Chain A
């Protein structure tokens, strides 16, 4: 059974810092991994999608890496801004198209 873990559960950093969010999964037989952002009371916004054959994806100040063999992914946010405050969720797609989520990291950027 696939299990996805995100550490830390919450993180608070001052504006301008670079930061890393972690995601680990127990079954390395995945097809892709996706990072989402969720603002309070809102839906999920897709940030980055990494296919199983890829090592990383970049979008603006965001960079996501994938190491299937170790069951890990990281989301790197450069030069953080207060607008980056949100909950960040990672999700893996495995056999039978099941998409399994981690419980998220709640990020707060202090002005």
Chain B
């Protein structure tokens, strides 16, 4: 039972490079979301999706792009990496509005 799978686990990027963080869930959950976690700041919502083809912005969307072409996948794209995007990124999914949220193990991203 895989749950929520994030890849890669670690990544180092140079300023200006682009990349995609992958997130996949096998629980047929409608809701998926991306967070970043910085020291002392908890988790901040970047983008979220309530179903295939529907996405919306969270608290800190600038510099990130998402799409949701299937129920299972919700990739996060960094368009032009900046040192301020150095963080740990978590993907989450939940079954419906009142459902329990499940998290992936995180991607530690460093931008140099």
CB nearest to A89 among chain B residues: B42
Interface residue? B50 (CB, 8 A): yes
**Would you call B50 and A93 a contact (CB within 8 A)?**
no
Q: What are the interface flags for B49-78 relative to A under an 8 Å C-beta threshold, 1 for contact and 0 otherwise?
A: 010000010110000000000000000000
Chain A count of residues within 8 A CB distance of the other chain? 26
* Set A46, A49, A93: member contacting B97, Cβ < 8 A: A93
B31 and A42 within 8 A (CB): no
Measured between alpha carbons, how far is A102 from B103 in the docked complex, in Å? 16
Check A103 against B41 for contact (C-beta < 8 Å).
yes
Q: Which of A4, A32, A97 has the most CB of B within 10 A?
A: A97
Tally A-B pairs: CB < 8 A: 65
User: Is the CB of A51 closer than 8 A to any CB of chain B?
Assistant: yes
Q: Measured between C-beta atoms, what is the minimum distance from B54 to chain A in Å? A: 10
Q: Separation in Å of the B55 CB from the closest CB of chain A?
A: 11
Q: Which residues of the other chain, B, contact A97 by a CB distance below 8 angstroms?
A: 31, 33, 48, 50, 94, 97
CB distance from B40 to the nearest CB of A (A): 7
* Complex Cα gap A32–B31 (Å): 14
Q: For chain A residues 1-42, which have a beta carbon within 8 Å of chain B?
A: 4, 6, 9, 31-32, 34, 36, 42
Residue numbers in B under 8 Å from A4 (CB-CB): 42
17 A-B pairs in the complex with CB atoms less than 8 angstroms apart? A6-B42, A32-B98, A42-B105, A43-B105, A43-B106, A51-B98, A52-B98, A89-B42, A91-B43, A91-B101, A97-B33, A97-B50, A97-B94, A100-B45, A101-B44, A103-B40, A103-B42
